[in-house]
C-alpha cells in the first residue's frame, strides 16, 4: 500500500447528509475502498466522476484516478486494474455505455468483478441527453449483474452490495439509476463510512491475477472445445447469484438497517391489477396508487423490480402469478416488439398465469411521467387490444 | 466458478511442433560452431541452445531440439560460419 | 537423422509449442522482447497472431504474466495495470509492456495508444509491424506500404496494389513528445535487444516499432525472414532509427546502397510489379520513398 495515501484515504465521514445523488454515490464508492477509478465524462454521469476527482484532489480518496480518452478506454482501464487484483470503478451513460459494449462482454467473460454506475439516459438518434432506460437495457445480455435504484439512498446501498456480490461471484455489476432524476436530485442520504462498509465488504483477495510471482496467462484463445462450457458457467453463476444476493441483502439489513430486495410487492394484497416497473418512476407510481388519482388505480398493486440480472423468476411468480391484469411500464423498448421488462415478465409468467399483460412504454427521452399518466396507462391497458402501448401525455 | 480461465505458464511445451517439418532438419557441425548464439536468437521456436559440451577448439557448441523444430532454416541462414546445414529428412 | 537427441532447456520466457508459422518474424521479436525485459514484466497483448498462436486455451507459451482482452485495448489495459500496481506499491519494480500488431497500433487502437502516451504512463508500447492484417488473411492496414498486394488491395487491370503510402507512426509518436521512440527489426536481433533494454530503463511512455516479416502474408520462404528484413533496412525501405527526447539519437547505416528491387523481388506481395512497364514505374516510386528515407535520416555511410 502507498503509505502516504492510506493514512488519509478512503475515510470520508459517514452519516446523514443532504447531498446531490452523484456526490452521494461518489462518497459511497470511495468508502467502499475502491483502488482504481477510470472514467470519461458524459451527461448525466458527469457529476459522479467530477466528485470522485474532487475527493481525490482533496486527499480524501485512496485511489488512482485515470482519465480516459473514451468510455471504451475507461472500461478497458478498469479491466486491466481488476485483472491486477484491485477494486475498480467506472461510471457512464447512454452513448458511453454503448461505446463500452465490446469491453462489457469482455469484462464479464473474463470474470472480473468491476462495478460501474450507469446514469440511465436515452440513446441517439435523435440525440437526447435526458433519462430513459434504453442504454442499460440494450446491454442486458452482456453477462453483468444489473440492479436498479429507486432512490438515491437505495442506489448508494446497491453499490455496496454490488461490490460484495461481484467479488464473491466474479461477475461484474452495473448499478443503474435514472439520469438527472436521481443523479442531480438533492436529498438527505445516509453515507455509510468506510469502517462500517468494511464489516460488510471484506477485502477482495483474488488469486488468478497478473502477478510476476505467479505468471498466469489471462484471456487465452478458446476454441469450440471449451467455449460453450465457459459461457454456460457464466449463465449458471448469474442465476445462482440470486441466492447469494438474497442472503447478503439480509446481512446488509443487519449492518446498515435498510432493506434491499430483488423485487418487492407493494399496495393492496388482493389487487387484481398490478403495475410493474424499475427505478425512480416507482415513486410516482406509488403516489398515484396511494392517492388513487384515477379510479382505475383503486386497489392496484405495485411490483418493484430491483434486480434485472439475475432476474427473480420464482419471486415474481409468487408475488403476481395470481393477478389478472399486469401492466409493465418500460422506459425502453425492443423496437418492433415491446418493452424489455414486459418481455421478461411475460417469459416468467408463461404457463404460470392467465393474466393479461400489457407493455406500456413511457418516459422515453426524458418525457415526464405524471401520476395522471400512470392512471391513464392502467385505463388504456384495460381497453386496448395492442400488446404494447405508448403513454406520453 | 469452477472452470479455470487462467492458464499456467509455458504449457504449450506439450505440443511438439517437430511434426510440422516437411523436408529438412538442421544439422549442426559441432567442430565448426563458434558458440556465438545467433541461431538461438533467430530461432522462432527458441529451441537452439548451448549444449554445455565443448568442441576441439574449446567452444561450447549449440544444438537444436527436434521435438519442436519446424524446419524453417533460419539457424542455417544466420550462422556466420555455416556450421548449420539443412539436411533432407526421411520420415 | 542424428543419433544423439538434445533436449532444449526451455530457458526463454516464451516456450515452444506455439503455432506461429515456421520462420515467423513476429514470434522471434516476442521472444527477444520478453527475454530482454525479464520475468518482472507484465504483458498486455492485442488480438492478432501474437495472441492466437501463443495462448490456445488451456495452454500458453508465455512465462510472464500476460493478458489479452480485445483488439484495440492493450494500451488501456497497461494503464489500468499501472494504476493498480501504484496502489500495490509495485509500480517501480515492474515493467509493463503493451503489444499490438500494426493493425492494432496504426489503426484500431491508435486513439488508445495516444491516450496512454498523453497520460505519460510508464509503459513500453511495442508494435510488431508486418504491414497488414496478416492474422485474418493478409488484408490492408494503414501500415501497408505502397503497391503491396494484400487481399483487400489486390493488383488488377486498374490497380497496382495498395495506392496509399504507409502511415508515419513514428511521426505520430514524436508528436506526443515521448522520451523514447525507436524502430528495430528481427533482421538485427542485437540492435533489437539493445533497444528494449534502453527503452525499459527510461521512465515514461515509450514506443518501439519492430519490423517483423510475415512468411505467408509477404509470400516469402521461411528461411528468408531475416534476410528480407535486413534488405528492407539496407535499401532504406524501412529506416531503423532511434529518438531520445524527440532528437534523432541513433540509426542503422548501410555502407552500400541496396536497390529496393532486391528487397521487393523476394516477396510475392510485390510480384506483380515485375511483370511489365507499369510495375517498373511503381518500383521507381518505391525507390524514391527509400531514397527519401536515406536522405532524411542520413542512412548511407560515405
Q: At what angle do helices A340-349 and A313-320 cross, to 10 degrees?
A: 80
**Which of B22, B44, B63 is the best residue to mutate to test the C interface, defined by the most C CB atoms within 10 Å of its own CB?**
B44
Tell me whether residues C58 and A226 touch, CB distance under 8 A: yes
pLDDT at position C1, please?
A: 52
Calculate how close chain C gets to B16, using CA atoms only, in Å. Answer: 6
Q: What is the pLDDT of residue C2?
A: 54
Residue numbers in chain C where pLDDT is lower than 50: none
Report yes or no on C190 lying in a domain.
Answer: yes
Q: Hey, is A177 helix, strand or coil?
A: strand
Tell whether C1 is covered by a domain: no
Q: Which one, of C259, C264, C227, lies nearest residue C272 by Cα?
A: C264
C-alpha radius of gyration, chain A, whole number: 21
Question: Which pLDDT belongs to residue A293?
Answer: 81
- Same domain as A250, residue A272: no
Give the per-residue pLDDT at A356. Answer: 96
| Domain identity same for A252 and A267 | no
Strand C95-101 versus strand C180-185 pairing type = unpaired
Please, what is the Cα angle at B88 between B85 and B89, to 5 degrees?
120
pLDDT in tens, C180-195: 999 999 999 999 999 9
Q: Is the dihedral of CA C253, C255, C259, C262 positive or negative?
A: negative
The Cα of C195 is separated from the nearest Cα of chain B by a number of Å equal to 15
Q: Which residue of chain A is at minimal alpha-carbon distance from B8?
A: A216
Sorting pLDDT into bands at 50, 70 and 90, what band is B90? confident
Distance from CA of B1 to the nearest CA of C (A): 16
Q: A256-280 burial, b for 16+ CB within 10 Å, e for fewer?
A: beeebbbbbbbbeeebebbbbbbbb
| Residues A35 and A173 placed together within one structural domain of the fold | yes
pLDDT at A9: 45
Q: Has residue C10 been placed in a domain?
A: no
Q: Which residue of B has its CA nearest to A233?
A: B1
Q: Please list every residue in chain B whose beta carbon sits closer than 8 Å to the beta carbon of residue C24.
A: 44
The set of cell numbers assigned to A211 is: 502477478
Both A162 and A302 in one domain: the answer is no
* Residue where a domain terminates, one of A192, A224, A256: A256
Measure CB to CB from residue B3 to each of A216, A217, A230 and give the nearest one: A230
The nearest alpha carbon in chain B to C22 belongs to B72
Q: Are residues A194 and A85 in the same domain?
A: yes
Query: What pLDDT does residue A12 have?
Result: 59
* CB proximity C165 to A under 8 Å: no
Q: Quick one: closest CA in B to C188, which residue?
A: B42
Chosen domain end from A233, A256, A279? A256
Residues A43 and A168 in one domain: yes
* Most C CBs within 10 Å, among B25, B45, B70, B82, to test the C interface: B45
Task: Write down how long chain A is.
Answer: 393
A52 touches chain C (CB under 8 A): no
Q: Do A281 and A159 fall within a single domain?
A: no
Nearest chain A residue to B5, by CA: A218
Are C48 and C81 in contact by the 8 Å Cβ rule? The answer is no
Instruction: Give C191-200's long-range contacts (Cβ < 8 A, gap of 24+).
Output: C191/C240, C191/C252, C192/C29, C192/C32, C192/C33, C193/B41, C193/C32, C193/C36, C195/C242, C196/C32, C196/C33, C196/C36, C196/C37, C196/C124, C197/C36, C198/C242, C199/C124, C200/C36, C200/C37, C200/C95, C200/C124
Assigned domain for C34 exists: yes
Helix (H) or strand (E) holding A277: strand A273-277
Does residue A161 share a domain with residue A89? yes
Contacts of B61 (CB under 8 A, 6+ apart): B28, B30, B31, B33, B35, B50, B51, B53, B54, B55, B83
Cα–Cα distance for residue pair C293/A283, rounded to 1 Å: 69
Please answer yes or no on whether A169 and B1 come within 8 Å at the CB atom.
Answer: yes
Average of per-residue pLDDT values in chain B: 96
CB pairs under 8 A between A and B: 30
d(CA A205, CA B9): 21
Q: Which chains touch B (3 or more CB pairs under 8 A)?
A: A, C
Distance from CA of B2 to the nearest CA of A (A): 8
- Closest of C8, C12, C9, C23 to residue C193, by C-alpha: C12
Q: By residue range, what is the domain housing residue A94?
A: 3-256
Give the closest of B10, B42, B76 to C15, CB-based.
Answer: B10
Helix or strand run (H / E) with residue A383? helix A371-383
Position C154 scores a pLDDT of 98
Query: In this structure, are residues A106 and C69 in contact, taking their beta carbons and an 8 Å threshold?
Result: yes
Q: Is A171 exposed, middle or buried (0-12, 13-18, 19+ CB in 10 A)?
A: buried
Domains of chain B, start order: 19-88 (3.30.70.3270)
Residue of chain C nearest A67, judged by CA positions: C119
Structure ipTM? 0.97
Number of structural domains chain C divides into: 1
Partners of residue C251 on adjacent β-strands: C241
Q: The domain that contains A187 carries what CATH number? A: 3.40.50.970
Output the DSSP codes for C110-141.
Answer: HHHHHHHHHHT-S-EEEEEE-SSBTTTTSB--
Of the candidates C21, C58, C63, the beta carbon closest to that of B9 is on C63
Domain count, chain A: 2
Residue A246 and residue A296 in one domain: no
Using DSSP, state whether A114 is helix, strand or coil: coil
Chain B residues with at least one Cβ partner in C under 8 Å = 4, 7-17, 20, 25, 27, 38, 41-49, 51, 63-68, 70-74, 76-78, 86, 89-90
The verdict on a CB contact (< 8 Å) between A80 and C55 is no
Residues A267, A215: one domain?
Answer: no
Which among C70, C83, C88 has the least Cβ separation from residue A106?
C70
Q: How far is B55 from chain C (nearest CA, A)?
A: 15
Residue of B2, B3, B6 best to disrupt the A interface, most CBs of A under 10 A: B6
Q: Does A237 touch chain B (CB under 8 A)?
A: yes
User: Which string of DSSP letters, residue by residue, matches A354-369?
Assistant: --EEEEEEE-GGG---
Inter-chain CB proximity B64 and C58 less than 8 Å: no
Sign, CA dihedral C8-C9-C10-C13, equals: negative
Domain that holds residue C202: 25-297
Question: Among residues A213, A230, A256, which one ends one of the domains?
Answer: A256
Residues of chain C numbered 105-124 and touching chain A (CB < 8 Å): 111-112, 114-115, 118-119
The DSSP code for A203 is: P
pLDDT computed for residue A176 by the predictor: 98
Q: What is the pLDDT of residue B23?
A: 86
Quick one: A246 and A323 in the same domain?
no
Pick out chain A residues at pLDDT < 70. 1-13
Question: DSSP for A2-70?
Answer: -HHHHTTTT----EEEEEEHHHHHHHHHHHTT--EEEE---TTTHHHHHHHHHHHHTT---SEEEE-SS
DSSP chain B: --S--SB-TTGGGGS-GGGG--SEEEEE-TTT-----HHHHH-TT--EEEEEEE-TTS-EEEEE-TTT-----HHHHH-TT--EEEEE---
Residue where the block lists cell 393492496: A268
Chain A contact for B1 (CB, 8 A cutoff): yes
The chains found to touch C (3+ Cβ pairs under 8 angstroms) are A, B
Which residues of B are less than 8 Å from A169 in CB distance?
A: 1
pLDDT of residue B1: 76
Is residue C252 in a domain?
Answer: yes
Candidate from C16, C60, C225 with C-beta closest to B45 = C16
Q: What is the pLDDT of residues A63-103, one digit of tens each?
A: 999 999 999 999 999 999 999 999 999 999 999 999 999 99
Q: Which of B2, B3, B9 is nearest residue A215 as measured by Cβ atoms?
A: B9
Smallest Cα–Cα separation from A75: which of A95, A89, A87? A89
Are A33 and A139 found together in one domain? yes
Domain of C243, CATH number, reads 3.40.50.970
d(CA C207, CA C195): 10
Q: Any CB–CB contact under 8 A between A127 and chain B?
A: no
Instruction: Please check whether residue C302 lies inside any domain of the structure.
Output: no
Counting DSSP H helices and E strands in chain A, the numbers are 14, 16
In a domain, residue C2? The reply is no
Amino acid at each position: 500500500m502507498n503509505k502516504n495515501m492510506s493514512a488519509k484515504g478512503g475515510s470520508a465521514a459517514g452519516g446523514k447528509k443532504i447531498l446531490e445523488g452523484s456526490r452521494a454515490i461518489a462518497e459511497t464508492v470511495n468508502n467502499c475502498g475502491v483502488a482504481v477509478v477510470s472514467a470519461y465524462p458524459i451527461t448525466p454521469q458527469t457529476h459522479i466522476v467530477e466528485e470522485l476527482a474532487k475527493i481525490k484532489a482533496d486527499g480524501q480518496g485512496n485511489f488512482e484516478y485515470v482519465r480516459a480518452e473514451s468510455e471504451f478506454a475507461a472500461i478497458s482501464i478498469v479491466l486491466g486494474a481488476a485483472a491486477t487484483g484491485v477494486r475498480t470503478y467506472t461510471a457512464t451513460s447512454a452513448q458511453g455505455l454503448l461505446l463500452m459494449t465490446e469491453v462489457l462482454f469482455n469484462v464479464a467473460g473474463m470474470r472480473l468483478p468491476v462495478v460501474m454506475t450507469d446514469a440511465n439516459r436515452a440513446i441517439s438518434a435523435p440525440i437526447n441527453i435526458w433519462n430513459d432506460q434504453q442504454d442499460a437495457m440494450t446491454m442486458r445480455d452482456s453477462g453483468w449483474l444489473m440492479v436498479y435504484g429507486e432512490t438515491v439512498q437505495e442506489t448508494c446501498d446497491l453499490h455496496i452490495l454490488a461490490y460484495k456480490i461481484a467479488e464473491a461471484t466474479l461477475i461484474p455489476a452495473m448499478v443503474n439509476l435514472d439520469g438527472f432524476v436521481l443523479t442531480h436530485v438533492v436529498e438527505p442520504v445516509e453515507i455509510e463510512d468506510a469502517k462500517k462498509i468494511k464489516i460488510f465488504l471484506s477485502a477482495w483477495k483474488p488469486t488468478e491475477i497478473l502477478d510476476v510471482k505467479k505468471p498466469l496467462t489471462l484471456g487465452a484463445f478458446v476454441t469450440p472445445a471449451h467455449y460453450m462450457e465457459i459461457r454456460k458457467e457464466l449463465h449458471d453463476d448469474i442465476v445462482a447469484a440470486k441466492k447469494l444476493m438474497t442472503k447478503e441483502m439480509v446481512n446488509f439489513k443487519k449492518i446498515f438497517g435498510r432493506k434491499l430486495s430483488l423485487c418487492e410487492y407493494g399496495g393492496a394484497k388482493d389487487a387484481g391489477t398490478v403495475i410493474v416497473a424499475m427505478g425512480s418512476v416507482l415513486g410516482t407510481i406509488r403516489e398515484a396508487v396511494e392517492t388513487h388519482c384515477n379510479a382505475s388505480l383503486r386497489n392496484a398493486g405495485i411490483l418493484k423490480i430491483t434486480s434485472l440480472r439475475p432476474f427473480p423468476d420464482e419471486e415474481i411468480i409468487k408475488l403476481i402469478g395470481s393477478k389478472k391484469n399486469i401492466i409493465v411500464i418500460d422506459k425502453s423498448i425492443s423496437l418492433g416488439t415491446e418493452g424489455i421488462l414486459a418481455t421478461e415478465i411475460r417469459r416468467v409468467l408463461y404457463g404460470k398465469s392467465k393474466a393479461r399483460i400489457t407493455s406500456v412504454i413511457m418516459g422515453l427521452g426524458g418525457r415526464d411521467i405524471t401520476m395522471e399518466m400512470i392512471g391513464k396507462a392502467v385505463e388504456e391497458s384495460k381497453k386496448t387490444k395492442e400488446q404494447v402501448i405508448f403513454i406520453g401525455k | 466458478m469452477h472452470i479455470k480461465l487462467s492458464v499456467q505458464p509455458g504449457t504449450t511445451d506439450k505440443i511438439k511442433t517437430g511434426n510440422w517439418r516437411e523436408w529438412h532438419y538442421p544439422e549442426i557441425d559441432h567442430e565448426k560452431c563458434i558458440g556465438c548464439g545467433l541461431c538461438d536468437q533467430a530461432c522462432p521456436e527458441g529451441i537452439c541452445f548451448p549444449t554445455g559440451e565443448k568442441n576441439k577448439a574449446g567452444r561450447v557448441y549449440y544444438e537444436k531440439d527436434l521435438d519442436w523444430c519446424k524446419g524453417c532454416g533460419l539457424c542455417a541462414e544466420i550462422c556466420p560460419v555455416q556450421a548449420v546445414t539443412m539436411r533432407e529428412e526421411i520420415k | 537423422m542424428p543419433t544423439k537427441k538434445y533436449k532444449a532447456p526451455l530457458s526463454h520466457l516464451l516456450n515452444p509449442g506455439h503455432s506461429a508459422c515456421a520462420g515467423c518474424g513476429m514470434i522471434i521479436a516476442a521472444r527477444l522482447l520478453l527475454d530482454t525485459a525479464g520475468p518482472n514484466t507484465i504483458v498486455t497483448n492485442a488480438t492478432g497472431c501474437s495472441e492466437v498462436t501463443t495462448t490456445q486455451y488451456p495452454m500458453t507459451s508465455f512465462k510472464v504474466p500476460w493478458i489479452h482482452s480485445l483488439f484495440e485495448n492493450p494500451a488501456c489495459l497497461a494503464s489500468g495495470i499501472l494504476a493498480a500496481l501504484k496502489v500495490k506499491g509495485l509500480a517501480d519494480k515492474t515493467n509493463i509492456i503493451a503489444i499490438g500488431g500494426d493493425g492494432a497500433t496504426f489503426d484500431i487502437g491508435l486513439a488508445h495508444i495516444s491516450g496512454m502516451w498523453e497520460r505519460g504512463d510508464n509503459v513500453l508500447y511495442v508494435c510488431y509491424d508486418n504491414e497488414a492484417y496478416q492474422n485474418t488473411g493478409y488484408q490492408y492496414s494503414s501500415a501497408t506500404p505502397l503497391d503491396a498486394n494484400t487481399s483487400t488491395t489486390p493488383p488488377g487491370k486498374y490497380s497496382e496494389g495498395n495506392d496509399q503510402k504507409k502511415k508515419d507512426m513514428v511521426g505520430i509518436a514524436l508528436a506526443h513528445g515521448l522520451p523514447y521512440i525507436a524502430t528495430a527489426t528481427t533482421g538485427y536481433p542485437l540492435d533489437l535487444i539493445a533497444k528494449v533494454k534502453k527503452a525499459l530503463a527510461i521512465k515514461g511512455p515509450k514506443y518501439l516499432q519492430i519490423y517483423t516479416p510475415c512468411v505467408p502474408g509477404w509470400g516469402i520462404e521461411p528461411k528468408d525472414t531475416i534476410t528480407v528484413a535486413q534488405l528492407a533496412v539496407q535499401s532504406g525501405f524501412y529506416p531503423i532509427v532511434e529518438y531520445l527526447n524527440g532528437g534523432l539519437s541513433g540509426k542503422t547505416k548501410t555502407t552500400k546502397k541496396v536497390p529496393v528491387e532486391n528487397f521487393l523481388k523476394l516477396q510475392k506481395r510485390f510480384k506483380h510489379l515485375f511483370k511489365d512497364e507499369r510495375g517498373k514505374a511503381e518500383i521507381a516510386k518505391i525507390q524514391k520513398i527509400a531514397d527519401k528515407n536515406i536522405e532524411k535520416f542520413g542512412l548511407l555511410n560515405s
